[in-house]
Amino acid sequence: MLLERMMRAGDADNALEQGWFLRELRERFGLSGEELSKRFGRTPSWVSRRLSLVAELPESVHAHVRAGAIGAHAAMKYLVPLARANRADGERLADAVAPLGLTTRQMAIVHAAWLGANAEGRALIVKDPGLVVRAHEEARRAKARPATPAEQMLSDLGALGGIAARVHQRTRRGEVRGLLAPEREEIRHAFSQARREVERLIKRLGKELDDARPEHANRDPATA
């Protein structure tokens, strides 16, 4: 009864103990994963993850989980698949991240970087996994930071140039010649509008850039 209560109420913090109990029940009484899940009111996936935590992780990783250096949930989700594919890699990465006390989210970042890296990149991750987390957080903060007016203008001009280049390539391929008369007229109208806007931009932006030269730095923009 005590075991059943623990298995029903337990969370990821004692997942390793749950895995040991589940393995004991499976091996001693021959209970299947489905039978265990029904007995303790859990899903077959819940049972499978805890059994894999015990069966597939090296003892050195168990030690990190028991010590609280690596969360059981992070170990189940990221280190078990890694150890399943390459046991030595699982141990290396676990030993590298254990001193950092990473959260599950941070462990996900390191795991994703590991999967996308070559042998040299993985060696760097093992050397300093914290650098991966810091770089990711910095990139996230930079992305969340509102773009400056200069960054917004550069982005818009880059998009404008890209669109112009794409339309130019279409004309070079002769796509205009294959249009029907109504389509050609519609494109002619759209082109006239676009040209007016671009000409206005060229005139205005050119003037603004000229006025922003050092020799004009003391001029009042409102008088321009």
pLDDT of residue 224: 46
Top-ranked range on mean pLDDT: pick from 16-25, 31-40, 150-159, 190-199: 190-199
Average pLDDT over residues 133-151: 85
CATH architecture of 2-142: Orthogonal Bundle (1.10)
Distance CA 128, CA 139 (A): 18
38-75 pLDDT per residue, tens: 887 888 888 888 888 787 788 888 889 888 898 888 88
Average pLDDT over residues 182-195: 92
pLDDT of residue 8: 53
Average pLDDT for the chain: 83
Q: Could you tell me the residue ranges of all domains in the chain?
A: 2-142, 150-177, 179-224
Average pLDDT over residues 86-98: 91
Average pLDDT over residues 161-183: 89
What would the 3-class secondary structure string for the chain be? CHHHHHHHHCCHHHHHHHHHHHHHHHHHHCCCHHHHHHHCCCCHHHHHHHHHHHHHCCHHHHHHHHHCCCCHHHHHHHHHHHHHHCHHHHHHHHHHHHHHCCCHHHHHHHHHHHHHCCHHHHHHHHHCHHHHHHHHHHHHHHHHCCCCHHHHHHHHHHHHHHHHHHHHHHHHCCCCCCCCHHHHHHHHHHHHHHHHHHHHHHHHHHHHHHHCCHHHCCCCHHHC
